[in-house]
Amino acid sequence: MADDLLSQLKQMTTVVADTGDIEAIRRFEPTDATTNPSLILQAAQQGERRARLGEIARQAIDIDDALDAVAVEIGSEISGLVPGYVSTEVSARLSFDTEATLARAHSLIERYGRHGVGPERILIKVASTWEGIRAARQLEREGIHTNLTLLFSFAQAQACADAGVTLISPFVGRILDWHKAQQPEADFSGENDPGVRSVRQIYEHYKGHGYHTIVMGASFRNSGEIVSLAGCDRLTISPALLGELAETHGTLTRRLSAQDAETRAPEPLDEADFRWHMNEDAMATEKLAEGIRKFMADQRKLETLLKELRQE
């Protein structure tokens, strides 16, 4: 019998578990992991953890201070469970403020240092707005690694590569969601999946231009999307789809390879070009704005919780 698809995928792609649950991280032993408001909200449901978060919240200067303090405490715990990066988000509220993003990123790195976690282990997670990408450029020059998230377009990917970011997270499933809503009768299976096509275009552009930015496909809706991107630098996959791949046997073919990319000279994208391309791409514009709003919805819930804990 042929090996399972997950085992074969791990031979050609770094597999990351798409979960913020600490127990799931222990179980799946991913290379990288993340901390975010959703994770902290989940953690707060545990009595012992809630008590600790309350202690941190009461010691904090304000809610922003409390947000960063709890994120770094849980991120530091996660860093002991994974060998690779721990991504930690800068507040989505700062997605259009380069200077504020830089200040928050520096604060997070300093906090991790006090917990004994060096900057080489951390990815500062920032939305792929023009302002976020500019902040990432500066952070990378300072030796601080970045993860540019909410990425839906080629223009975003090109600007991120020009900025020298460490990793991008193109959202395969959310791209598919938008196209299905626009054309509910269309066939988006297999090679027709617009999210898969987007990641392939980005991957080939990066490899052809010699960019070192890691492409990590994310937000998968089905295992077929994962199979179609076998060979991508990294893929972050939900526990449910990891289980499905582990239980499926057959031959997995590499679909992406740096050796197949045509080498070309890079053509940097300036701000005017970036904003024009985003304006022309309704899907990317709408999904980026929606994604920032959803990130903030979780953060507001966490802010409310921390305010309550400060008063207990």
Residues designated as active site: 125
Alpha-carbon distance of 6 to 247, in angstroms, equals 8
Task: Encode burial over 156-187: b for 16+ CB neighbours within 10 A, e otherwise.
Answer: bbbbbbbbebbbbbbbbbbbbbbbeeeeeeee
Spatial strand order of the sheet with 145-151 comes to 14-17, 234-237, 214-217, 167-170, 145-151, 122-127, 86-89, 33-35
* Torsion of Cα atoms, 78 then 81 then 86 then 90, to 10°: -10
Question: CB-based burial of residue 36 (10 Å sphere; 0-12 exposed, 13-18 middle, 19+ buried)?
Answer: buried
Sign of the CA dihedral 103, 105, 107, 110?
negative
Which stretch of DSSP H or E encloses residue 103? Answer: helix 98-114
Q: Read off the DSSP letter of residue 150.
A: E
Nearest to 127, CA basis, from 154, 160, 99: 160
Which stretch of DSSP H or E encloses residue 86? Answer: strand 86-89
Report the DSSP pairing between strands 86-89 and 122-127: parallel
SS3 37: helix
Maximum Cα interatomic distance, the chain, rounded to a whole number of Å: 61
